[in-house]
């Protein structure tokens, strides 16, 4: 990638960010007990499983035939994304998750900087490809944050931080400085 090509830089950063969202969520998933996938913090809240089902439905709709068909597919039943069957399992939820991300990466990885100028539609409204990707980056960030918050809530004191744990910021800074000094020799 050329550092002088802002479009290529945008696509590389979008892919890096999407991969980060997927990875961070999966680190949270790894800490869940089976019942945590379906836990609610109040009767009107969404569970982790529902958030994943919604994200997967959105991903299927937005990224299938990304450049050639409307991003809101006519067969999408968005309201049903917020309903779970009592037989839903964590394995099924993870399958939805993986299929959704496969669609994201299959659509974004082959894009070129020139594609960013193209126009696509979502619900009949025109968007540049760059706008559509930015829209999805924002949407997924919101839901990844919800997933991590819920996972942390359900695991309580057993939660393993996905970044720097509380009270360890100074130690992380010291470790980073030591690593940088060692690299410089």
Distance in angstroms (rounded) separating the CA atoms of residues 95 and 18:
18
Per-residue pLDDT reduced to its tens digit, 29-78: 999 999 999 999 999 999 999 999 999 999 999 999 999 999 999 999 99
Which residues have CB under 8 Å from 132's CB, separation 6+?
Answer: 62, 66, 71, 120, 122
For domain 6-184, give the CATH number. 1.20.120.450
Instruction: Give the three-state DSSP class for 42.
Output: coil
Per-residue pLDDT reduced to its tens digit, 144-185: 999 999 999 999 999 999 987 778 777 666 665 656 666 776
- The predicted pLDDT at position 2 comes to 47
Q: pTM to 2 decimals?
A: 0.88
Residue 128: its H or E element: strand 125-128
Angle CA 10–11–14, to nearest 5: 85
Distance in angstroms (rounded) separating the CA atoms of residues 133 and 15:
10
Q: If pLDDT is split at 50, 70 and 90, which confidence band does 4 have? A: confident
Distance in angstroms (rounded) separating the CA atoms of residues 93 and 96:
5
What integer best gives the mean pLDDT of the chain? 92
């Amino acid at each position: 990638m050329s550092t002088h090509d802002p479009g290529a830089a945008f696509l590389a950063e979008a892919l890096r960010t999407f991969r980060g969202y997927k990875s961070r969520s999966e680190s949270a998933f790894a800490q869940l007990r089976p019942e945590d996938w379906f836990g609610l913090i109040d009767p009107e809240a969404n569970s982790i499983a529902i958030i994943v089902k919604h994200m997967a439905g959105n991903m299927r709709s937005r990224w299938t035939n990304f450049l050639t068909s409307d991003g809101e597919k006519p067969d999408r039943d968005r309201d049903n994304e917020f309903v779970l069957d009592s037989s839903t399992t964590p394995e099924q939820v993870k399958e939805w998750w993986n299929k959704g991300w496969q669609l994201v990466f299959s659509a974004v990885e082959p894009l070129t900087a020139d594609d960013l100028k193209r126009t696509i539609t979502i619900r009949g409204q025109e968007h540049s490809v760059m706008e559509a990707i930015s829209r999805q980056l924002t949407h997924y960030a919101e839901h990844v944050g919800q997933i991590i918050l819920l996972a942390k809530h359900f695991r309580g004191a057993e939660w393993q931080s996905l970044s720097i744990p509380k009270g360890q910021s100074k130690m992380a800074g010291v470790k980073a400085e030591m690593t940088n000094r060692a690299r410089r020799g």
